[in-house]
Amino acid sequence: MEKLKPLVQTQADLDVLIRHARQTDAVALDTEFVWERTYYPRLGLIQMALSNEDCFLIDPLAISNLQPLGSLLSDRGVVKILHDAPQDLTILGRITGATPQNIFDTRLAAGFSNLSATLSLGNLVKELLDIDLPKDETRTNWLQRPLTNNQIRYGMDDVRYLRATRVLLLTRIIGPKIKSWLQEELNLLNNPANYTVPLDDTRYRKIRGASNLDSQGLAILKNLSVWREGVAKKVDRPRGHVIKDADLIEIARQRTTEPADLRTTIGLPVNTTANYGKTIAAIVSTTLRQQESSYPPVRRPTRLSNSEKVNLEKLQNLIRLKCGLLGIDPALIGNNSELKQLVKTICGRKSDAPEQLRQTMGWRKHFLEDFFRQNRG
């Protein structure tokens, strides 16, 4: 391999690095970015390791064309190893225009390896390799140049041990069936729809306080959220810099249709009211004139009957027991809300078609076959 400097800052050096990376079986990747005052994260560094010793830092501030990296990301012949992959894949996919393929997420794999599926990279490396990763640059400015020696060391250590971590995780998995379950889950990362942010018109339901609104209030919140998303993208500022979540909720609750009331009643800042007051009031007024049938449905927390609560406890006990035997983190099977919905669907008397649940498909369905068999019919 041609001798490359650890810090890759030219197009020629990037081309050489990617050429050699595509000749390996697996490469480790990570990103460092700043995401405080912009809608999109500002990428400051891309780390890559071909081995424990061959670690490189790609400088996206110095190299304008990162499409060669995209060719590596989309190469199904090379495993790309990341820890907690979705956010990095979103960023890398966006700046390269590529669809990442053949991803190995060490955080996800830990959950199939008798470890927690929520371990940080530092805790995972400590558990498997007894190595303490530095934590002194977690809040550093990755857009500054030149990079400090500490930043360079920190960046390289974030990928240095990922290849070894992958090998150790795979040796901990109990049998080929569990490995096939892990691979099924990893395959979901080949489709960006499974890890990118929710669509603009669904994000509103995740805003704190949305569950307390009626259907008309939800319609107002939805329309305001879609508008805010567009403004935030256009001016490249965080959503909360356009208008805060709490203010959206209050506007939706009070159905505010007068620009002046946004300042006096809602308490919007002067600049926000001046810049967007008329638009916000118009959106509310237009929504109030919509047909009621167009409003989004209200989703209330799932409430279980006494018999369903008994079945939920049986289900949770089954999951804990089986996960203990197979070395799987119970959290991978589903969260409490999902399990409640599953019990309601399988054990309840709901006549309407249930929402498709993860637990009724793929490896989770096989995992829960005893539960389904006991409650069939």
Cite the residue boundaries of each domain of the chain with CATH code 3.30.420.10: 7-194
Tens digits of residue pLDDT in 175-207: 999 999 999 999 999 999 888 876 666 789 999
Residue length of the chain: 377
CATH architecture group of domain 7-194: 2-Layer Sandwich (3.30)
**DSSP conformation class of 96:** H
Which pLDDT tens digit goes with each residue over 138-155?
778 999 999 999 999 999
Residue 192 preceded by cis peptide, ω within 30? no
HSE, side-chain direction, 13 A CA sphere, residue 209: 13
Report pTM.
0.90
pLDDT at site 194: 87
Residue 1 pLDDT greater than 70, yes or no: no
- What pLDDT, on a 0 to 100 scale, did the predictor assign at position 377? 56
Would you place residue 157 in the very low, low, confident or very high pLDDT band (cuts 50, 70, 90)?
very high
Overall average pLDDT of the 7-22 stretch = 96
Cα–Cα distances in Å, from 30 out to 27, 87, 193, 257?
Answer: 10, 10, 20, 47
Which CATH superfamily does the domain covering 306-374 fall into?
HRDC domain (1.10.150.80)
Note whether 178 and 323 are within 8 A (CB): no
Confidence grade of residue 376 (pLDDT, cut at 50, 70, 90): confident
- Residue 325 clears pLDDT 80, i.e. is over it: yes
Are residues 224 and 242 in contact, defined by beta-carbon separation less than 8 angstroms?
Answer: no
* Confidence label for 361 from pLDDT (cuts 50, 70 and 90): very high
Q: What whole-number percentage of the chain has pLDDT above 70? A: 96
Structure tokens at 352: 């309407």
Tokens of 20: 């050699």
- pLDDT score recorded for residue 346: 86
248 in Cβ contact with 224 (< 8 Å): yes
Mean pLDDT of the chain: 93
Q: What is the pLDDT of residue 351?
A: 44
Model pLDDT, residue 352: 47
Q: Does the pLDDT value for residue 315 go beyond 80? A: yes
CATH no. of 203-294: 1.10.150.80
Instruction: Indicate the pLDDT class of residue 353, thresholds 50, 70 and 90.
Output: very low
Residues of the chain with CATH 1.10.150.80: 203-294, 306-374
Beta 7-8 vs 103-105: how paired, if at all?
unpaired
pLDDT of 350 strictly over 70: no
